[in-house]
Structure 1
Amino acid sequence: MKKFTVHRKPVARFPLTTKLYPLISKQRGKNKPRTQYVSEALIDNVLERVSPYLRRNQPLDILDLWPGGGLISSKVNELLQPRRHVLVEPDPRFNNFLQPLAQSNPCYKLVDEPIYGKFDWSNFFATHLPEQGRGNRESSAIIPKNDSLLILANLPAAKSGMDHFKPSRWFLNYMKNCLKQKDVNLYGAVRVLATMPSSEVSDMLPRSAVERTRTGVFAETIGLHNIEIASPAEEERSHQWRGWDDLNKIREHVAERAAANNIITPPTREFPPLEVVPHVPYRTSRVERPYQPRVLAQMHKKQLMEIAEADKLGLDSCSDTTDPKAKAIIRKRALAWSKLARDNSASYFRQQLADVILEQDQVGWTFARAAADPKESVENLKALEDRMVSLKSSYATLKSSIHHTMLEKHQHTIDDARLGRLTNHFVDAGLAHDQRPFEPLYIHPDETYPREDPRAVVYFEPDSNPPVLKKIFDLPNTMVQLVLDRYFSMLAVVGTRGTMPVAEFLKTLFPAESINSHVRDIPSLASFAERRLKPGRGPMPLPEGSTSDPAFTYQDNVDYDLSGVRLRTLSAATLLDIAVKYEKLPEKLDIISFSRALGGTMTQAQLGEELLNMRLR
């Protein structure tokens, strides 16, 4: 029996699977079926968890995009009792599910219209949601909000790897239009409760610095709430390099936050704990490195099964038997030992390198604080300098001694460890997912149908006064959109060239300026910078009245170096500060040349109609 046939077999305890089976049973190849939730208990648990975010003053309208089988639609309708609930389903094959639902309550209206490529929502609102208008907009903030409309979206997966219509692209377009007050945000920025393929959630909520793409960083920029409500607990790519201790500390902090807010998870919805790769004595020719705890993945389970299968034979080597099947099993065990030993060694070296960098950062912060203390001696500062030089040399020596295959992903480990260390000093630093208010509710495999494409539930609410954007809207009105255009171009580069050193990035934009001048203008750049005392200078206090920590601000007696800091570790606020600084230059590139200079490209959709028309003219 083919794998997809098993995944599409109806489940008796979920009657909706039997109704959906005729619809999806013959869908093959590019015509992928849209995965649906089929468990009422799951939706009830999800809505109980998310209801504090959804409930607002009545009346409320719901714009329901791709409702599919309609289970979530009916449950949300029952909870919120909306004034109007418009179901927009482009696929007529779901009409057999949605027409009876639409007839069950006069607030429903079923609309057959395309969603992607729809640019004029004003006529849609006038026809189907007539109460929506400028009067719903709360205009006193940076981003006018509209709490009288909720978007419910079951975002379909892309049809192929070449398909640009991905859930993350839909979210990016939606967030940009929160600022522009266009499309579904025409009468103010609205909230979104969405389901999407679990593999794409990391675009909205990066798990690692390497996953900080344009969509995720922009969500950091304007998001008030960006939360994964429920998840099928699929393997996460970042578990390959993030430290076992760090991941468990994050989970402990999440549990503490949830307990402090009295958030209780039903036992059947508890997120599965992380499992550790057990220590296995490797009988290989490799030099065995100290055991490194790391997250157990499918590849480890397969290797451990092969070892266990051979161990049952009670044979040490192939020479102990003449049975060809037994020999093959023993060879598999030897290969599994080798793979586990290699994985352990790579994890060990990654952590060794990260520890050196973290110590270098810590000594640098100590040096910065000492350099701001008039009571400190120059000799003590020189000793700290020597320690930083020694650590830098140790890092280079250690790295050069490691085979290049063992260095894979070591930069990921370093950047994630740095961002994690920064959260000890700033509440809003680091990755938003690491600061989550609770663990997602667990979605069991048979609660989605078909079962080969797991989906997660995400809630996003824009901040009407995003702290990151406040400084932008203090600028002259003529500069605001220009700065945002620069910022969007820079975000594209963060995702594609995130390993670029910050020093190189700044040199590209400001070829005539020194790193010291950048840190002076944008003090947050100092966080991971290398520091040295300027020649002929000694300890010097910060300017009178300053309450900043010297470790995270500019000091006039210190030289800075950003060649060891990667672009993807910069916060949204820092990137925006760079965009502001560039826009204030007397001579600068136009937005297209600016993007190309950074190594990025811009599609017509990213350029926007205004810039495209201007160029055509």
Structure 2
Amino acid sequence: MRPLLRFKTSARKSSNRITDEMLVAGTPVAEKLSETGLWKWQRGRRPAKGVPVGDKHRINVVSQKLCDDIANYIGPSLDRHRGCDLIDINPGAGLWSRTLHDLVQPRKHILMETDIEVYGSMLSDLIERPNVQLLPKAGILWRDVNDMLATCISPEKKADPNAIPERNDTLLVNINISYAPPKKFQMFECVSTMVLYQLMSSIKTASLFQQYGLVRMLIWINDDGKRRLLPHSATRRKRSTFEAELACEWIHEIAGKDIEYEAQELRDEWINVESGYNTLARMKKAGLTMPSDRETFLYKTMTADESLMGKRLAGVQMPILSRPYRTELEDLESDFAKSKATEASKHSNTYHDLIVQGEEASRLWKTDPAAFAAADAAWNAKIERLKKNARKEFVIFRDNYHLFRQDPPILHWDRRPFEPLAVRADEFYPQVPCALLDLQPKTMHHNLRQHGPKARAGGLADAILRFWYGYSLYPVSKAMDSLWPGFGKMFPEITCLRDPAKGGSPLSGDGEMPARCVNEEQWIEIVETFMNWPFVPEYQELVGRLMDEGESEDEDEAKSGAMGGVGGSITP
């Protein structure tokens, strides 16, 4: 099979303005929205008479076919929610809300929609159903959400706060937090960033919907916002991503924009190919196929040639790196033609050799300490001979490989059970592609979820994590010492950090695992070791230091201020 050299469209950040092209109505529902006049952006002018009051930053799903395709694709996974209480925030035009209603046949369907002037007529047939209740309240104001929960959901359904959280399929949450242009709020580039962070935080604090157990959430979000929780590479595995890994059993992208190019990704294309084949195998086992007009480029490529399915590709084949400055298809094709696949670049050869030699050395770690020490020294010597830029490039390449080769792979993206359905811009109004994410919370380790005036473990773990991602590129031992002076000496005590079977690296120097690559098991041991360390600081000391040093640049816009919510506390 020919390596996956493909043209990648650039992933642009959210536009700061709505263009005329984005306001072209492509469906009957889009035409109704257009006729309201709400989306006519006239800076400095008052809205014309007759224009309804509403939030013109919101994006609506306007394609019934998209809703039907999603229903046919994931419908069986929603069977366990039949007869549930469905909380539906920002239903807007209501196409997806009707589809979801028909899928799960809820006992009670609660719509939280403030822009009644805009969407009231479009929701009228849904509202008329006997088990549907409309609340003209903002679903992203947590005081309104808590009021709704107190009045609409039986308190008997609340989980015992002292018990181990369990999945609750009798409650399902659907929310649309798609905005264009981005709706800024305080220090957040968009209110959706804050809401997403709060929803994640509610899992570990057992607040909001999660006070009733582990409640599944379906979230519509701007396509470029999905990577906060579902990145494709180590460079995008920020703190918000890691927190989601700790809190969620799965994060699936059900539908979204097809090809996105992540700047600075530097992920070997063979990882993408192997990940794609693994996903195709899971789909075949589940009997899943994609609608022909929803197939992604990767899915088409995998199904066209299945000869390499089930084979180990990444780390065996010579790496193919798509670099940020190589954006033209002609350049990619030209490079491929010159290399002829068998004539890999000098750097690719070097990176491949380093990966292979590193794995060979690691296998000696437990069986032959003397041979391991020699192999480790030789490996580090080879790294030292790399030029600065090549060395930086290899680090990213190595980290992506390290995350992928664990069992299961660390990134939720590489665990996906199916390829996401490809959406089109004209299926939304305004025409800004969005993604539908499916989140299933899980039972977190007790030291990561304890919160409250007496239980400090969860709060301490949060503070540690804030520090940690300020040093995400440091080797783990150095990050530990940066967390609190002297703690780095405990590195040898946490054996999983060096055990290859547990996702660790026994190599020293440049072979030591970086802080951004720790997995959940390793993080739990780091937290427990810190809490049991004889010199562990008081909670107030650690939090005070965090406030003194401020947030790092690696916060991914998920600031601590999010805990306050928009107009209300996240906690009841």
TM over 0.5: yes
Determine the C-alpha separation between the residues in 2 that align with 1:519 and 1:479: 33
Structure 1 residue 304: deviation in Å?
5.6
What residue number does 2:198 align with? Answer: 173
What residue number does 2:41 align with? Answer: 27
What residue number does 2:63 align with? Answer: 39
Q: Secondary structure at the match of 1:72?
A: helix
Determine the C-alpha separation between the residues in 2 that align with 1:351 and 1:304: 17
TM-score (norm: length of structure 1) = 0.72
1:541-599 Cα distance to aligned partner (Å, 9 max, x none)? xxxxxxxx5x8689xxx996687431101112322321222222344143413535886
What residue number does 1:321 align with? Answer: none
What residue number does 1:459 align with? Answer: 438
Query: How do 1:280-295 residues align onto structure 2 when only pairs under 5 Å count?
Result: 293-294=320-321
Q: Secondary structure at the match of 1:235?
A: coil
Judging changes above 3 Å, is the alpha-carbon distance between structure 1 residues 123 and 293 closer, same or farther for their aligned structure 2 residues? closer
What residue number does 2:20 align with? Answer: 5
Determine the C-alpha separation between the residues in 2 that align with 1:559 and 1:392: 9
What residue number does 2:417 align with? Answer: 437
Aligned residues: 509
1:110-158 Cα distance to aligned partner (Å, 9 max, x none)? 222233342364432243x2x4323354879622443222111011333
Judging changes above 3 Å, is the alpha-carbon distance between structure 1 residues 494 and 212 closer, same or farther for their aligned structure 2 residues? farther
Determine the C-alpha separation between the residues in 2 that align with 1:152 and 1:392: 50
41-50 or 292-301: which moved more? 292-301
Query: How do 1:77-476 residues align onto structure 2 when only pairs under 5 Å count?
Result: 77-119=101-143, 121-127=145-151, 129=152, 131-135=153-157, 137=159, 142-157=164-179, 158-160=182-184, 163=188, 165-237=190-262, 240-273=265-298, 293-294=320-321, 300-301=327-328, 348=345, 351-352=348-349, 354-371=351-368, 381-400=369-388, 404=389, 409-421=393-405, 423=406, 426-427=407-408, 429-451=409-431, 453-463=432-442, 465-466=443-444, 469=445
Structure 1 residue 211: deviation in Å?
1.3
Determine the C-alpha separation between the residues in 1 that align with 2:527 and 2:548: 14
Determine the C-alpha separation between the residues in 2 that align with 1:390 and 1:414: 17
1:405-458 Cα distance to aligned partner (Å, 9 max, x none)? x6665432221012223x2xx33x42111111111111133222222x210110
Determine the C-alpha separation between the residues in 2 that align with 1:151 and 1:511: 43
Amino acid at match of 1:225: W
Structure 1 unaligned spans of 5+: 277-290, 308-336, 372-380, 529-548
Determine the C-alpha separation between the residues in 1 that align with 2:430 and 2:521: 41
TM-score (norm: length of structure 2) = 0.77
Q: Of 507, 520, 529, which residue of structure 2 is paired with 1:572?
A: 520
Whether the 8 Å contact between 2:83 and 2:104 is mirrored in structure 1 is: no
Structure 1 residue 525: deviation in Å?
0.7
Q: Of 474, 478, 482, which residue of structure 2 is paired with 1:508?
A: 482
Whether the 8 Å contact between 1:485 and 1:591 is mirrored in structure 2 is: no
What residue number does 1:595 align with? Answer: 546
What residue number does 1:539 align with? Answer: none
Amino acid at match of 1:486: L
Whether the 8 Å contact between 2:266 and 2:397 is mirrored in structure 1 is: yes
Judging changes above 3 Å, is the alpha-carbon distance between structure 1 residues 29 and 365 closer, same or farther for their aligned structure 2 residues? farther
Judging changes above 3 Å, is the alpha-carbon distance between structure 1 residues 33 and 354 closer, same or farther for their aligned structure 2 residues? same
Query: Root-mean-square deviation (CA), in Å?
Result: 4.0
Greater Cα radius of gyration, structure 1 or 2: 1
Q: Of 96, 99, 110, which residue of structure 2 is paired with 1:72?
A: 96
Whether the 8 Å contact between 2:269 and 2:320 is mirrored in structure 1 is: yes
Structure 1 residue 359: deviation in Å?
3.1
Judging changes above 3 Å, is the alpha-carbon distance between structure 1 residues 206 and 526 closer, same or farther for their aligned structure 2 residues? same
Judging changes above 3 Å, is the alpha-carbon distance between structure 1 residues 514 and 212 closer, same or farther for their aligned structure 2 residues? closer
Determine the C-alpha separation between the residues in 1 that align with 2:395 and 2:380: 15
What residue number does 1:523 align with? Answer: 495
What residue number does 1:492 align with? Answer: 466
Structure 1 residue 173: deviation in Å?
1.4
Alignment pair present for 1:16 and 2:29: yes
Determine the C-alpha separation between the residues in 1 that align with 2:251 and 2:349: 33
Whether the 8 Å contact between 1:350 and 1:413 is mirrored in structure 2 is: no
Whether the 8 Å contact between 2:203 and 2:210 is mirrored in structure 1 is: yes
Structure 2 unaligned spans of 5+: 1-16, 45-54, 302-317, 553-557
Whether the 8 Å contact between 2:376 and 2:507 is mirrored in structure 1 is: no
Judging changes above 3 Å, is the alpha-carbon distance between structure 1 residues 292 and 433 closer, same or farther for their aligned structure 2 residues? closer
Whether the 8 Å contact between 1:360 and 1:392 is mirrored in structure 2 is: no
Determine the C-alpha separation between the residues in 2 that align with 1:32 and 1:219: 30
Determine the C-alpha separation between the residues in 2 that align with 1:368 and 1:407: 24
Determine the C-alpha separation between the residues in 1 that align with 2:244 and 2:230: 8
Amino acid at match of 2:483: L
* Percentage of matched positions with identical amino acids: 20
Amino acid at match of 2:384: A
Determine the C-alpha separation between the residues in 1 that align with 2:115 and 2:121: 11
Whether the 8 Å contact between 2:112 and 2:135 is mirrored in structure 1 is: yes
Amino acid at match of 1:461: Q
Amino acid at match of 2:20: T
Determine the C-alpha separation between the residues in 2 that align with 1:136 and 1:461: 18
What residue number does 2:6 align with? Answer: none
Whether the 8 Å contact between 1:168 and 1:215 is mirrored in structure 2 is: no
Whether the 8 Å contact between 1:195 and 1:455 is mirrored in structure 2 is: yes
Amino acid at match of 1:16: V
1:58-94 Cα distance to aligned partner (Å, 9 max, x none)? 5311111111111111111122221221211233443
